Structure 1
Amino acid sequence: MPAKKPKFIPLKDRTAYHRFEDVIGCKWSSSIVAAVAQDVKRPGELERFIPGISTKVLNERLRRLVDFGVLIRTEHPALPARVDYDLTEVGIKLSALLEEVRQLNLDHPAASA
């Protein structure tokens, strides 16, 4: 007998979806993850690499991605101070998923219209 179809999405699942959407659903977060995956690691480089992103939004999104466990922030003791961002294991998986979505969009242009 087939499994019984649920009548609703359980609260635990809804919470997970909303948390994920809050962090990754932002166009800037996706762009930041894609840029870091391409070895763009410093905040100034990210700001130049992602057209249209403001310093304020970049810093807020970087904090959210670190808090979510997608990026790791490394401070280097130097003058001037230097900060780099790298993908975590979760970030590497997410980057691969984002690349699949990007490729799907390229392969099926009618879907993006």
Structure 2
Amino acid sequence: MPSGKPKFIPLSDRTNYHRFEDVIGCKWSSSVVAAVAQEIKRPGELERFIPGISTKVLNERLRKLVVFGVLVRTEHPGLPAHVDYDLTDSGRKLAALLDQVRQLNLDHPASP
């Protein structure tokens, strides 16, 4: 097998990048992950904690983050029944990366 730089990104990698971008690239996904990392776990709390997010977008993001394996959804029976979300191991890794990006942004403010 010849060595050297690859000439292109393989289709499987491109597919994974697009899937990742669809889930994490949304401006709301990073806010949801950061909020859950701060122990904001219930949908109503998340909606109040993240200014500007609609119920529809929040629910869409929560579903995608669960399917992607970043969040886990737990239903609690009882009166009233409720749902909360927690980070998975992958979600905790992502939250740490997002915090590093946030810190990098704070360390290097935009030019006027």
Q: TM-score under structure 1 normalisation? A: 0.94
Q: Which runs of 4+ in 1 moved over 2 A?
A: none
Q: Partner of 1:109: helix, strand, or coil?
A: coil
Task: Give per-residue Cα distances to partners, 1:6-58, cap 9 Å, x unaligned.
Answer: 11111111111111000000010000000000000000000000000000000
Which residue of structure 2 lines up, in the alignment, with residue 35 of structure 1? 35
Q: Following the alignment from structure 1 to structure 2, what is the Cα–Cα distance between the partners of residues 25 and 90?
A: 16
Alignment of 1:92-107 (within 5 A): 92-107=92-107
Aligned to 1:87: 87
- Give 5+ residue unaligned stretches, structure 1: none
The count of aligned residue pairs is 110
Q: Kindly indicate whether residue 58 of structure 2 is the aligned counterpart of residue 58 of structure 1.
A: yes
- Which segments of 5 or more consecutive residues in structure 2 lack a partner in the other structure? none
Give, as a single letter, the amino acid of the residue that structure 2 aligns with 1:69.
G
Once the two structures are TM-superposed, the CA of residue 110 in structure 1 deviates from its matched residue by 3.1
Q: In the aligned structure 2, how far is the partner of 1:79 from the partner of 1:56?
A: 24
Shift of 1:79: 1.3
In structure 1, the partner of 2:69 is: 69
How do 1:12-51 and structure 2 match up within 5 A? 12-51=12-51
